[in-house]
Amino acid sequence: MRSTATPLRLLPAAFVLPRSLSKPVRSRQTEWQLLIGGSGAANQKGAPHEALFFLVLPDDSAGGLEPLQVCPPHRVPAMEEGGDSNKEEAIEEEDEEEEEEEEEEDDLEVKEENGVLVLNDVNFDNFVADKDTVLLEFYAPWCGHCKQFAPEYEKIASTLKENDPPIPVAKIDATSESALASRFDVSGYPTIKILKKGQAVDYEGSRTQDEIIAKVKEISQPNWTPPPEVTLVLTKDNFDEVVNDADIILVEFYAPWCGHCKKLAPEYEKAAKELSKHSPPIPLAKVDATAETDLAKRFGVSGYPTLKIFRKGKPFEYNGPREKYGIVDYMIEQSGPPSKEILALKQVQEFLKDGDDVIIIGVFKAESDPAYQLYQDAANNLREDYKFHHTFSTEIAKFLKVSPGKLVMMQPEKFQSKYEPRTNMMDIQGSLEGSAIKDFVLKHTLPLVGHRKPSNDAKRYTRRPLVVVYYSVDFSFDYRAATQFWRSKVLEVAQDFPEYTFAVADEDDFATEVKDLGLSESGEDVNAAILDEGGRKFAMEPDEFDSDTLREFVTAFKKGKLKPVIKSQPVPKNNKGPVKVVVGKTFDSIVMDPKKDVLIEFYAPWCGHCKQLEPVYTSLGKKYKGHKNLVIAKMDATANDITNDRYKVEGFPTIYFAPSGDKKNPIKFEDGNRDLEHLSKFIEEHATKPSRTREDL
């Protein structure tokens, strides 16, 4: 390319820099040559000038150059004449800006897969900004339901594309676009939402083409407005009137800023809609506890959200789930009577003969009896764990040998023994506290030696220490004698240790537990173990079973002479990574270390959510690796015993923060956003010591 004075004739006040300072600029079509021109003032030695950029065609064979001026010409800050490096830096900065602009345009580009638009954290807002209606699917690549739904969703996209006007159909990978998933409260896959003028509407119908298209078209109508909330809003002005008038009502005390409350809100509203259709309707209400402070104080609200059931104004604890169907099922069950009336003596006799759990019967003159209402209130508080009955029959009262106003508790005949009373009776007075009835029921729930089963373990056998005798337990007619033979041996010992809970259990029902105790290959028909507080387990050495060997075993435990059995993987030889590996044998030394805060993740190797969390958790470990007083740890809960029962694991992954000095009260991580930001925030909120690195010390 020849350097000529043509640009000077077109722009007399400019000059052309040497060819060596020209720089090629590429576009999609061709390569251009960039020349820098500046003001004539720069001819004076040391005088600053401004640079003007011109684009000229590389082919100048026709004679003079035709400069293509950028409109307007890009100007760069004043440069000293002769500052070639400054000029080159200015050019490079200009190139970088152009590249960034191109990258930004690429990021905002919306791609399409099989007719479905692909949105992400970067392009979402830009895309939906001018759209009236958009159909969204939040999915996970590994989700089976999502894969099954994909062909149907593509058909929906094709149909709505032909709509007048077309309605865009998009999908979002919720596992990679976590900010969007969090913003729209996505907790399961696939989640379908319809965006109407930027506001999300939950789709609650079936995942069929016809139903989804019909709903989208309905919402896309110009005059469509969202239906009003079904959830009642309560304040100090209407609270008592509404609550006192309701046979049953669920009330949520919330805070507008609370993350858990925001997560609950859509599920709560869905449940309210569903329960409004129930016969009779069951109302759901909410109270802003930050605004209605007197109401919050009146009902002892100390955390958010707090849910309470009210029956004619009387509060009861809500212990149910916090998602739509769980709330619906729980409230329907709670709306029924807490106690069932027994009309005939034959029913009581059948309970005694064939029952499998404690029998609770309240005996009253009539429903107007003050003791009856007291009994009903107590039954409402315990209805999830017990079956309550009541009677007004004088025949039944005579059979039970009690007068009206009494509460009677009995064990089925198969659990009765000469070492314990046949019945336990309580006199219910109108002035009696409801808590006294509750305490009485809890005290007399179990027989001296009961039958522990998977179905009653969580509700009946949580007290520790628990002495369990494993064998082939079968109370059916043909095998009852053999079952009772071994149970009688246990009864002889149980009477001497009233501070412990005793039970028999079928070895097949608890095969995994027996294996973990190392007793599955004992060679004995009857084995025994003690499950202690803190999750510790002790196995009796295999021997011919009788009451004497069991008594010796329990006595040795009481004196602290037994060593616990711990299921554990091998202790890692090298455990210096950012995330410490905890096994059964090191749980106490690492997690329960009183001098350190510990964040512990309990995972399962096969768990998809755990695999997804792994890189985030490793990054978290690296972030806090230098902090002397904090340990980031993980444990395979399928291969190791958790030797403290305060760390309950009911799903994977489960994360706890174990604060130094208070290991018996771990704090469970319940935020659905398991990303680096939220996990870090969780740590900082609960850290008991300043997070100083070793370099700081």
Who's near 351: CB < 8 A, 6+ residues apart? 359, 410, 412
Tell me the C-alpha distance between 632 and 69, whole Å: 60
Phi, psi of 353, rounded to the nearest 5 degrees: -75, -45
Tell me the C-alpha distance between 515 and 507, whole Å: 10
Who's near 322: CB < 8 A, 6+ residues apart? 264, 267, 307
Q: 274 exposed, middle or buried (CB, 10 Å; 0-12, 13-18, 19+)?
A: buried
Write out the two tokens for 332: 């329907």
Q: Contact at 8 Å (CB) between 165 and 122?
A: no
Q: Element (H or E) spanning 600, and its range?
A: strand 597-603
Write out the two tokens for 235: 């304040």
Phi, psi of 469, rounded to the nearest 5 degrees: -115, 120
Residue matched to tokens 């000077």: 8
Q: Helix, strand, or coil here: 570?
A: coil
Longest C-alpha distance within the chain, in Å?
A: 125
Estimate to the nearest angstrom the gap between the alpha carbon of 241 and the chain centroid.
Answer: 35
377-380 — which CB contacts under 8 Å span 24+ positions? Answer: 377/314, 377/434, 378/434, 378/437, 378/438, 378/441, 379/338, 379/339, 380/311, 380/316, 380/338
CA 292, 293, 299, 300 torsion: positive or negative? Answer: positive
Cβ-based neighbour number of residue 342 at 10 Å: 19
258 is catalytic: yes
Tell me the C-alpha distance between 134 and 568, whole Å: 52
Whole-number CA gyration radius for the chain: 37
146 is catalytic: no
Q: Contact at 8 Å (CB) between 451 and 413?
A: no
Who's near 20: CB < 8 A, 6+ residues apart? none
Q: What b-and-e string marks burial along 129-150, b requiring 16 or more CB atoms within 10 Å of the CB?
A: eeebbbbbbbbbeebeebeebb
194-203 — which CB contacts under 8 Å span 24+ positions? Answer: 194/133, 194/134, 194/135, 194/136, 194/219, 195/128, 195/131, 195/133, 195/134, 195/135, 195/136, 196/132, 196/133, 196/220, 196/224, 196/226, 197/132, 198/128, 198/129, 199/226, 200/136, 201/226, 202/266, 202/270
Strands 537-539 and 527-531 turn out to be antiparallel
Q: Contact at 8 Å (CB) between 374 and 434?
A: yes
- What single string gives the DSSP state of each residue in 92-155? HHHHHHHHHHHHHHHHH--EEETTEEE--TTTHHHHHTT-SEEEEEEE-TT-HHHHHHHHHHHH
CB-facing half-sphere around the CA of 690: CA atoms within 13 A: 5
CA 484, 485, 486, 490 torsion: positive or negative? Answer: positive
Nearest 5°: CA angle at 118, between 115 and 122?
155
Q: Helix, strand, or coil here: 50?
A: coil
Question: How many helices (DSSP H) and strands (DSSP E) are in the chain?
Answer: 21, 33
Q: Helix, strand, or coil here: 205?
A: coil
607 is catalytic: yes
Residues forming the active site: 258, 261, 607, 610
